[in-house]
Structure 1
């Protein structure tokens, strides 16, 4: 019987390589956040982390992590901060409405509570998917919000598994807080970009199959094209 030590050794070193990549990107994230004076650096650094992870989930091994990260940070600094400002505004509005619910009564309280819960759910989905969706679909403005919701609701089981995986990750970080400075943002980003990549790829295949069935051809020419409902760009 042949020895499997070679396989174990290869898998072990490959795992160490991935671990180093994750720690390295996390350090880039922290350093870039500090360069941007904390809040103004956080959102561009997060966007850049997603950009690097998008290359990983696509299977691209021939690229410079540092170069991709820095280029994305510079190119999307103001855009990421713009969306970050909208995020903070959304947090403020939801907090304000929650405080108002404390003094509302009767039917008004019930109606506003339902609206608040729906608003919080949509806000979480859009906030979670905003940057990854922009990277994958290049949508902007209203189309970006629309695509974020479509990608979440279009694959509810996948979204639930993503949330569960993030919950497990959060629990691990809670139990071992020493990991937080080195392995917190990057695993989260990898899970998110990986899940979205699978969902978008599935949508592309469904569109190609539908186009093939409609045209009667054996192979559709748009097998690598985003579905039309994800391609709209709005400033």
Structure 2
């Protein structure tokens, strides 16, 4: 059988894997009463996606998901709480700025737009970073911010992937309950892995230079 034929035969297999992972995300989000379940479930979904991206397929998706959900339940919720509170604060500042008159409002709007953009882009890397690095909350936030700054191409790929997912859901809303979370997690983890690899290569190039100096 040709490689193309073999690849086509594996398409239904991967469709089922993504659908099953999406079901786990829904079930465990509901298990945590949505508010306390959505972020641990998101992190667990990313942990499964990471193993797939490493080429691993012969493992229990449920056990990997459950381990990621249970072990990192508290940290995931703290990260999620930080994301929500920061986003709410930025939105509140936006509403307050609208009440200001004069030329200063344009400067404040520009600053808020810049801060909000950096917040969103940093937020995208927080959970992938938490999977790659066993660190505290502040270290995860700092590392995510640095990854965002030094990996603009990967960040653009992440945004493009999210936009494509948005268009697919808009035109094919039936995909959302079947592949929404799992496909989004895979795209996010894929672009994040590219960013991590680029950073590691840059570090390796700097090592000989520092030794030579």
TM range (shorter): over 0.9
Following the alignment from structure 2 to structure 1, what is the Cα–Cα distance between the partners of residues 104 and 210? 50
Following the alignment from structure 1 to structure 2, what is the Cα–Cα distance between the partners of residues 150 and 86? 18
Q: Equivalent residue of 2:36, what SS?
A: helix
Match of 1:154 among 150, 153, 174: 150
Q: Equivalent residue of 2:178, what SS?
A: coil
Query: How far is the alpha carbon of 1:208 from its aligned partner?
Result: 2.1
Q: Does structure 1 conserve the Cα–Cα contact (< 8 Å) formed by 2:121 and 2:155?
A: no
Q: Does structure 2 conserve the Cα–Cα contact (< 8 Å) formed by 1:48 and 1:70?
A: yes
User: Aligned pair 1:94/2:90, yes or no?
Assistant: yes
Query: How far is the alpha carbon of 1:104 from its aligned partner?
Result: 0.7
Following the alignment from structure 1 to structure 2, what is the Cα–Cα distance between the partners of residues 144 and 86? 12
Where in structure 2 are the equivalents of 1:50-61 lying within 5 Å? Answer: 50-61=46-57
Question: 2:60 matched to which residue of 1?
Answer: 64
Deviates further, 198-207 or 180-189: 198-207
Q: Equivalent residue of 1:184, what SS?
A: helix
User: Aligned pair 1:173/2:169, yes or no?
Assistant: yes
User: What TM-score do the two structures reach when normalised by structure 2?
Assistant: 0.92
Question: 2:200 matched to which residue of 1?
Answer: 204
User: What TM-score do the two structures reach when normalised by structure 1?
Assistant: 0.84
Query: How far is the alpha carbon of 1:213 from its aligned partner?
Result: 4.8
Q: Does structure 2 conserve the Cα–Cα contact (< 8 Å) formed by 1:40 and 1:81?
A: yes
Match of 1:35 among 14, 28, 31: 31
Higher helix share: 2
Where in structure 2 are the equivalents of 1:1-235 lying within 5 Å? Answer: 6-215=2-211
1:87-117 deviations in whole A, cap 9, x for unaligned? 2211221121111111111143123212211
Deviates further, 23-32 or 75-84: 75-84
Point out the structure with max Rg over C-alpha. Answer: 1
Q: Does structure 1 conserve the Cα–Cα contact (< 8 Å) formed by 2:28 and 2:38?
A: yes
RMSD: 1.7
Following the alignment from structure 1 to structure 2, what is the Cα–Cα distance between the partners of residues 197 and 73? 21
Query: How far is the alpha carbon of 1:214 from its aligned partner?
Result: 4.6
Work out the number of aligned pairs and report it: 212
Gaps of 5+ in 2: none
